[in-house]
Amino acid sequence: MVAVVGGGQLARMMAEPAAALGIPLRLLAEAPGASAAQVIPDHAVGDYTDLATLRRLVAGCRVVTFDHEHVPTGHLHALEDAGVAVRPGPGALVHAQDKAVMREAVARLRLPQPRFRAVGSLPEVVAFGLPCVLKASRGGYDGKGVWFVRTPEEAEPALEASALTGVPLLVEELVDFRRELSALVARSPSGQAAAYPVVESVQRDGICHEVVAPAPGLSKRLATSAQELALRLARELDVTGILAVELFETTDDRILVNELAMRPHNTGHWSQDGAVTSQFENHLRAVLDLPLGTPVARAPWTVMVNILGRTSEQVGHLYDGYPHALARDPRLRVHLYGKELRPGRKVGHVNAYGDDLQECLERARHAAAWFAGELGDESE
Ligand SMILES: Nc1ncnc2c1ncn2[C@@H]1O[C@H](COP(=O)(O)OP(=O)(O)O)[C@@H](O)[C@H]1O
Ligand SMILES: [Mg+2]
């Protein structure tokens, strides 16, 4: 039995391959009716920052893994001491929890990344040089905790937030990137690893909107070096499960590490339908130290587009999108998370795979926009 902490869509999507492989999951969800709690019957509702709750969750489980990176490190050590395999382990996970720790580790390994520094005051930010990007070292996601700073005044909100929360700030050079890439690998405790094709991801306001697998036009040299970089990070940091390395492809043809995630990642959702073995299945295989499945693509192109909530008026209407979306495109793959639409919230995604990139883009974009209620009355 595998224990999973966190009731979001990532845990929900682990349940599908878990069912296929006959692996029982036990879930700790934040709230009743959470996305994953809807599909994992063996679940408890509780607080993942409470050690006693975590101990109850893992009782009788061989392995515990995660839907998010927020479980306190001390608790993870306590679970390990109690004999449960924590995957990824606390020593690895800290690099996905703390951007400052991650930057130092990437620097130690001499891997390419933006220039950075820990900062605590406006003069330090100005001395580093503007424009720059300020980041909360811990607790950020989907662009929350990231500030683009062109003038000294624009640094104020970040400094205020840091003073209020006590979370240290990191400053980075503003990278002039051509696009964002993601290199995803699965790695098992015994050291087997599998590298997925490198993908292009399109972020808007810090939220992943679209992923194209493989990244169009990416040179063989950069693709291979991105995969090697991700495999090296997974090995050196002793990651178990999925590691996603978010990358920048710069306008002068380099790749730089942006950040790390140690769990299935939005930039790997394409693999559910576009790869022989999905990231969710390989995450489970990896944390159980089972042989990994091949990550190779099933089709020349796969496009993933997220379905994002726009307005609260749409609550409850997501499934109304089915008749048109499914009739228009019988090859479309739809993944909804059982969540209510809220502005900016990821409530599902669609995958379209095939031989023609433009056609896949059109199909996936149309369906996602349709579900999100952004299109008119084409069906009428
Ligand atoms: N140093 C940088 N230069 C330019 N853009 C950046 C930089 N760091 C982050 N970004 C942009 O902000 C987005 C969110 O930053 P990231 O560190 O990945 O935070 P999050 O934890 O919210 O995903 C990135 O996907 C990228 O688009
Ligand atoms: Mg990111």
Of all protein residues, the one whose alpha carbon is nearest to atom 12 of ligand 1 is 206
> Which atom from ligand 1 is nearest to the alpha carbon of 142?
22
Distance between Cα 31 and ligand 2 center (Å): 25
Say what the pLDDT of residue 268 is: 98
- From 86, 106, 140, the end of a domain falls on 86
Same domain? 198 vs 254 = yes
Q: Is residue 95 a part of any domain in this protein?
A: no
Say what the pLDDT of residue 75 is: 98
Ligand nearest to the CA of 68: 1
Same domain? 215 vs 282 = yes
Say what the pLDDT of residue 369 is: 93
Of all protein residues, the one whose alpha carbon is nearest to atom 19 of ligand 1 is 143
Q: Is residue 29 a part of any domain in this protein?
A: yes
Structure tokens at 49: 């920052």
Q: Is residue 149 a part of any domain in this protein?
A: yes
Buried b (16+ CB within 10 A) or exposed e, 24-57: ebbbbbbeeebbbbbbbeebeebebeebebbeeb
Residue 29 structural domain: 2-86
Q: Tell me, what CATH number does 133's domain have?
A: 3.30.1490.20
pLDDT tens digit sequence for 1-53: 999 999 999 999 999 999 999 999 999 999 999 999 999 999 999 999 999 99
Using a 6 Å cutoff on CB, does residue 91 contact ligand 1?
A: no
Same domain? 127 vs 182 = no
Q: Tell me, what CATH number does 258's domain have?
A: 3.30.470.20
Same domain? 162 vs 72 = no
Using a 6 Å cutoff on CB, does residue 38 contact ligand 1?
A: no
Q: In this structure, what are the phi and psi dihedrals at residue 242, rounded to the nearest 5 degrees?
A: -85, 135
Using a 6 Å cutoff on CB, does residue 139 contact ligand 1?
A: no
Say what the pLDDT of residue 379 is: 45
Using a 6 Å cutoff on CB, does residue 69 contact ligand 1?
A: no
Distance between Cα 35 and ligand 2 center (Å): 22
Same domain? 65 vs 135 = no
Say what the pLDDT of residue 320 is: 84
- The answer, yes or no, to whether residue 312 has pLDDT greater than 80, is no
Q: Is residue 379 a part of any domain in this protein?
A: no
- From 173, 189, 219, the end of a domain falls on 173
Q: Is residue 349 a part of any domain in this protein?
A: yes
Same domain? 131 vs 220 = no
Structure confidence at residue 374 as a pLDDT band (50, 70, 90)? confident
Same domain? 211 vs 234 = yes
Same domain? 233 vs 327 = yes
- The answer, yes or no, to whether residue 377 has pLDDT greater than 60, is no
Structure tokens at 208: 């992943």
Q: Is residue 110 a part of any domain in this protein?
A: no
Residues 6+ apart with CB under 8 A from 246: 180, 181, 182, 201, 257, 258, 259, 260, 261, 267
Q: With beta carbons less than 8 A apart as the criterion, state whether 167 and 137 touch.
A: yes
pLDDT tens digit sequence for 68-105: 999 999 999 999 999 999 999 999 999 999 999 999 99
pLDDT tens digit sequence for 208-262: 999 999 999 999 999 999 999 999 999 999 999 999 999 999 999 999 999 999 9
Same domain? 162 vs 145 = yes
- From 86, 107, 137, the end of a domain falls on 86
Using a 6 Å cutoff on CB, does residue 256 contact ligand 1?
A: no
Say what the pLDDT of residue 380 is: 42
Using a 6 Å cutoff on CB, does residue 133 contact ligand 1?
A: yes
Same domain? 58 vs 150 = no
Q: With beta carbons less than 8 A apart as the criterion, state whether 285 and 293 touch.
A: yes
Structure confidence at residue 205 as a pLDDT band (50, 70, 90)? confident
- The answer, yes or no, to whether residue 309 has pLDDT greater than 90, is no
pLDDT tens digit sequence for 259-273: 999 999 999 999 999
Q: With beta carbons less than 8 A apart as the criterion, state whether 204 and 305 touch.
A: no
Arithmetic mean of pLDDT over the chain? 95
Buried b (16+ CB within 10 A) or exposed e, 306-320: bbbbeeeebeeebee
The neighbourhood of ligand 2, an ion, using CB within 5 A, equals 246, 259
pLDDT tens digit sequence for 152-173: 999 999 999 999 999 999 999 9
Q: Tell me, what CATH number does 34's domain have?
A: 3.40.50.20
pLDDT tens digit sequence for 127-149: 999 999 999 999 888 888 999 99
SS3 percent helix, strand, coil of the chain, rounded to 5, is 35, 30, 35
What is the pTM for the complete model shown?
Answer: 0.96
pLDDT tens digit sequence for 179-200: 999 999 999 999 999 999 999 9
Same domain? 182 vs 56 = no
pLDDT tens digit sequence for 340-372: 888 888 999 999 999 999 999 999 999 999 998
Q: Is residue 266 a part of any domain in this protein?
A: yes
Same domain? 140 vs 265 = no
Domain total in the chain: 3
Q: Is residue 91 a part of any domain in this protein?
A: no
